[in-house]
Amino acid sequence: MIGRNHEFETITAAAAKVTARGCALVAEGEPGIGKTTLLTACAQWADENGFTVLSCAGVQSQATVGYTGVHELVHPILGHVDALPVYQRRALHAAFGLAEEQPPNPLHIGVAMLGLIEEAAAHRPLMLIVDDAQWLDDSSLHIVTFVGRRLASSPVMMLCATRPHLDGKPTRLVSLPRLPLAALDDAESRVLMSSVISAADGHGLSESAQRRVLAEAAGNPLAIAELTKALMAAADQSTVSARTPLPTTRRIEQAFLDQLNALPQPSRRMLALIAAGGDTALADVVTAASQVGLSEADLDPLERTGLITIAGGALLVRHPLIRSVAYRAATMTQRSAFHAALAAVTGDPVRAAWHRSAAAYGADELIAADLEAVAQNAHRRGANAEAAAAWRRAAALSPSTDRRIRRLANAIEPAYQAGLTAEAIEILDEAEPLATDLGDLFDLAFARFSLAVTTGVTAPLISDLVKLADRLGAADVPSLATAQIRLLAAAAAQCRMHGLNDNDRCLVADRLHALERLDDPLVLIALATIEDTKYAREFRCRAPSLHKQVSDDLTALMSMGLAGESASDLSTARGCWERAITVARRTGAPAIECEALRGAARSQIIAGQLAEAAVNAQSALRIATDADLGISVGAAAALLARIHAWRGESRSAQQALTTARQNLPSDTPLLWLDDLAWAAGILALTTHDHERAFTEISQMARDRGSRRWAIADLTEAAVASGHTQVISQLIDEIDAEANALESPHVVMLVHRSRALIAGADRDAEHHFRAALQTDEAAEHAPLEYARTQAAYGEWLRRQRRIVDARAQLSSALRVFEVRGAQPWSQRTRGELRAAGVQVPGSVTAPGPLAMTLSPQELQIAQLAASGLTNRQIADRIYVSHRTVATHLYKIFPKLGITSRNQLRDSIDLQSSC
């Protein structure tokens, strides 16, 4: 190995430390830069240093079979699969086609793979080698990325090699640490060239020819070797210097093409057949060759020139670029014949269907039907990317428009579940102009709405949804009447998510009122969402029965959660989000689970349940990251930023805000942008940057639900920055809404806002007392109630009513400290000291569950205390059972306990505080 000592030492140094901390590293470089050589050297080092080495390599192929790559990687350690938790074990069996299961949750497959690797690593450290990762099947690439992000607690090193970009797109591995491989310097290049010349049987090269090769190769090892060989084999060495300069990859390809042109024509065709077959077995290649007029003897020239290697019945091509050059050099007719022959000889129906597809010139329903069966099988195994690709190709081969649309529609959900949001939108864009059937139009419109809600892509126009709903209703078909209600309910939810104008709200409301089925639960949920002040009381009264009616309908549950927030019914909202989490987890819908976790966290923050909110927001962030849902990453990070700000964790809050801003574009649903603005505003309040706080929170003006909850924060910032006149009208509007909603929480916030604006005026006391007179607000919004007490205490102290001030401030301080609201705790302590009260220690000891444990540790502690085993917990929260054990090992000393049996008592004790 020449010129890669630094990279080799970097990798082996990291590998030597994996007993303390596992890691992943991606060696990235252009074709021929030496990635495979480096990986081979590292694998040899690992084998000599006590590692078990597992490897796989991507192969450029038209036949895409999900999880092929990772199956090759972990096949030698599958004996450990029985140690996995039950859901993870089932998911892995389903993914590898070892058992017939319900479609597995994609996250369970990833965690199962991680758990399997951890089980093997518990016996001996592992080195995982993944070469040509850019050509792994999409499902395998997703798993490799997932595992690479989570190796920190295992004695495992994952080493991947990939090209920087594939077809202009970054690979999924972009989230893993990079080790870029640069070109060799001139001295290293000359050493490599000399070794190639010495190993060859031909003549050497003149100095001018060597300089020309070095200039053309630009430090690329493969280019140096291949151009040197080509020039040595040329009768006239000057021909190389006469060529027009080409990019490095093109130069290498040209060198390979020159080698191909020197071969007999049957051998060139044989190499193209091999390229078409991907990783097809040698015996099948030979059989297929006989069907297109080739013979086994045509392999000999390929082997003699070193383009291929045959050993132990396996056929290896020297470099992936040889495959692509040989395949492109064949004519379209030849390629079609090759794929048809390969389809005839393979015993794998999936590969056969893809080869028949590649051989097809035009529409073919038989092939389309075969690919549809491939898609269904892939979907059952959780190979969503491959399912989407098969359905999309089946659509392209469909002779009839209706079947094409149906297959495109079927491709949308698996593409979305695979994190391929852009592909899902492309499929929608392709299908929508073709659709004329009302059922198809509904399916596509609802799919676009769902993608808009959960990924932030452009939402359908409200007017278009209403027009389609009108057409569905006019059809006078029962199933379409149900579709009409679902579409109008979707339009109502979209109004809430995007904060659209009153014209859109009124348009949807008018259509809902005109429905004959006003007793349908979705109708009331939709009306409560967009006419919250009018339907809040009825919604709260009927909430328990509505919840039962929609308990297994994810879309309805999420709509009801939004309606609960609109109607200021936080307990109902939380119940709906929690039920949605359960259903989404059971049905394998990670994107919906992520949205439901965020909904639960949003409600919990408002209700002052910071520890619980942190658990849900952190879980949402983890799922969004693992499922490649970039917009959801930003939305979850925005909620975490608000929680950190409440706790006084300014640095963590700022980091979360940065993540949120990076992942939330300006056309993101307004509800998520409100979360971002509110988080930034709360952070600014805690750092006394009131002008910034006012600017941020002022952006929450269009969504009525969000601005109600934030009105007191906005007022505090406005008073401190001199903008009180700007918000007076807004306070009046929210006052009217609060009375119509009959929401004690919002009424309290309005009165606190009026008291803050009143300042030293005697009216302030009236509003403070009015704000504090409801026990319901104290119970359901304890932190906001405590902030009201603290503000009243400050006002009383300034009025020199010290005794009264101490009572309010002391009561508020107890809540702030127990709930972990450190900025307000510190501020209240300062006010108490100014009132003559010395508070050197905490009023009550801060609860370790909220203050000491991380969100994930808290979640694990609570689940363990409820009686779940490590494996059951692992299945519940998408981690390996060894990760659960590691967390519990850290949790016990933090809680001052020594055994699992003490967890419940410790949690009960801290909760009672």
**910 band by pLDDT with thresholds 50, 70 and 90:** low
**762 band by pLDDT with thresholds 50, 70 and 90:** confident
Question: Are 829 and 854 in a shared domain?
Answer: no
Question: What would the pLDDT profile of 598-639 be if each residue is shown by its tens digit?
Answer: 999 999 999 999 999 999 999 999 999 888 888 889 999 999
Question: Are 830 and 865 in a shared domain?
Answer: no
- pTM for this predicted structure: 0.86
Residue 884 in domain? yes
Residue 279: phi, psi to the nearest 5? -105, 30
State mean pLDDT over 329-355. Answer: 94
CB 714 within 8 A of CB 694: yes
Question: Are 174 and 203 in a shared domain?
Answer: no
Asked if the model's pLDDT at residue 231 lies above 50, the reply is yes
What would the two tokens of residue 89 be? 């074990």
- Distance between CA 184 and CA 224 in Å, rounded? 10
Burial class (CB in 10 A: 0-12, 13-18, 19+), 172: buried
Q: How many domains does the chain have?
A: 6
Question: What would the pLDDT profile of 836-884 be if each residue is shown by its tens digit?
Answer: 988 766 544 445 455 678 888 888 998 998 889 999 999 888 888 899 9
- Distance between CA 578 and CA 572 in Å, rounded? 10
Residue 613 in domain? no
CB 694 within 8 A of CB 718: yes
- Distance between CA 901 and CA 158 in Å, rounded? 37
784 vs 63, which has greater pLDDT?
A: 784
Residue 608 in domain? no
Asked if the model's pLDDT at residue 795 lies above 60, the reply is yes
- Distance between CA 639 and CA 680 in Å, rounded? 10
State mean pLDDT over 369-389. Answer: 94
Residue 610 in domain? no
Question: Are 669 and 768 in a shared domain?
Answer: yes
Question: Are 277 and 415 in a shared domain?
Answer: yes
**587 band by pLDDT with thresholds 50, 70 and 90:** confident
816 vs 200, which has greater pLDDT?
A: 816
Asked if the model's pLDDT at residue 557 lies above 60, the reply is yes
The pLDDT score that the predictor gives to residue 841 is: 60
The pLDDT score that the predictor gives to residue 823 is: 95
Question: Are 40 and 158 in a shared domain?
Answer: yes
- Which 8-state DSSP code applies to residue 264? -
Question: Are 279 and 389 in a shared domain?
Answer: yes
Question: Are 249 and 353 in a shared domain?
Answer: no
Question: What would the pLDDT profile of 162-178 be if each residue is shown by its tens digit?
Answer: 988 654 444 568 789 99
Burial class (CB in 10 A: 0-12, 13-18, 19+), 169: exposed
Question: In the chain, what are the helix, strand and coil shares in percent, each to the nearest 5?
Answer: 70, 5, 25
CB 738 within 8 A of CB 745: no
What would the two tokens of residue 142 be? 């997703």
**298 band by pLDDT with thresholds 50, 70 and 90:** very high
Please identify, among 153, 180, 207, the residue that sits at the C-terminal boundary of a domain.
Answer: 180
The pLDDT score that the predictor gives to residue 171 is: 55
Query: Closest Cα partner for 341 from 297, 397, 276, 394?
Result: 276
Please identify, among 126, 152, 180, the residue that sits at the C-terminal boundary of a domain.
Answer: 180
The pLDDT score that the predictor gives to residue 439 is: 93
Query: Closest Cα partner for 180 from 56, 57, 325, 30?
Result: 30
Other C-beta atoms lying within 10 Å of the C-beta of residue 89:
21
- Which 8-state DSSP code applies to residue 98? S
Residue 606 in domain? no
Question: Are 814 and 874 in a shared domain?
Answer: no
**242 band by pLDDT with thresholds 50, 70 and 90:** very low
Residue 720 in domain? yes
Bridging pattern class, strands 126-131 and 52-57: parallel
To 10 degrees, the CA torsion angle through 745, 746, 748, 750? 170
- Distance between CA 277 and CA 280 in Å, rounded? 5
CB 202 within 8 A of CB 233: yes
The pLDDT score that the predictor gives to residue 201 is: 66
DSSP string, 691-749: HHHHHHHTT--S-HHHHHHHHHHHHHHHHHHT-HHHHHHHHHHHHHHHHHHT-HHHHHH
Question: What would the pLDDT profile of 266-292 be if each residue is shown by its tens digit?
Answer: 999 999 999 999 888 899 999 999 999
Share of the chain above pLDDT 90, in %: 64
CB 741 within 8 A of CB 722: no
Residue 476: phi, psi to the nearest 5? 55, 45
- Which 8-state DSSP code applies to residue 397? T
Question: What would the pLDDT profile of 668-681 be if each residue is shown by its tens digit?
Answer: 777 888 999 999 99
- Distance between CA 828 and CA 817 in Å, rounded? 10
Question: What would the pLDDT profile of 49-70 be if each residue is shown by its tens digit?
Answer: 999 999 999 988 866 789 999 9
User: For the chain, how many residues are written?
Assistant: 913
Question: Are 341 and 479 in a shared domain?
Answer: no
Query: How would you classify residue 67: left for phi > 0, otherwise alpha for psi between -120 and 50, otherwise beta?
Result: left
CB 860 within 8 A of CB 895: no
- Residue appearing with tokens 């009165």: 751
State mean pLDDT over 106-132. Answer: 94
Q: For residue 75, give every residue at least 6 positions away whose Cβ sits within 8 Å of its Cβ, in sequence order, or none.
A: none
SS (H, E, C) 279-309: CCCHHHHHHHHHHCCCCHHHHHHHHHCCCEE
The CA-atom distances, in angstroms, between 81 and each of 96, 127, 815 are 12, 19, 48
CA atoms 849, 877, 630, 664: torsion sign: negative
Residue 759 in domain? yes
Residue type, position 499, single letter: G
Asked if the model's pLDDT at residue 390 lies above 50, the reply is yes
Please identify, among 790, 815, 842, the residue that sits at the C-terminal boundary of a domain.
Answer: 842
Average pLDDT, the chain: 89
Asked if the model's pLDDT at residue 733 lies above 50, the reply is yes
Share of the chain above pLDDT 70, in %: 94
Residue 53: phi, psi to the nearest 5? -105, 125
CB 591 within 8 A of CB 829: no
Q: What is the CATH number of the domain that holds 882?
A: 1.10.10.10
Residue 68 in domain? yes
CB 320 within 8 A of CB 135: yes
State mean pLDDT over 252-259. Answer: 84
Q: Residues 258, 264, 270, CA angle at the centre, nearest 5°?
A: 95
Query: Closest Cα partner for 767 from 738, 806, 800, 740?
Result: 738
- Which 8-state DSSP code applies to residue 278? T
Q: Domain range spanning residue 358?
A: 265-434
Question: Are 237 and 298 in a shared domain?
Answer: no
Question: Are 781 and 637 in a shared domain?
Answer: yes
What would the two tokens of residue 325 be? 């050059």
- Which 8-state DSSP code applies to residue 169? B
- Which 8-state DSSP code applies to residue 906? H
Taking every pair of Cα atoms in the chain, the longest distance, rounded to a whole number of angstroms, is 104
What would the two tokens of residue 226 be? 């291949």
H/E segment holding residue 139: helix 138-149
The pLDDT score that the predictor gives to residue 170 is: 46
- Distance between CA 908 and CA 913 in Å, rounded? 9
CB 787 within 8 A of CB 711: no
667 vs 854, which has greater pLDDT?
A: 854
- Which 8-state DSSP code applies to residue 150? T
What would the two tokens of residue 83 be? 């140690």
The pLDDT score that the predictor gives to residue 35 is: 94
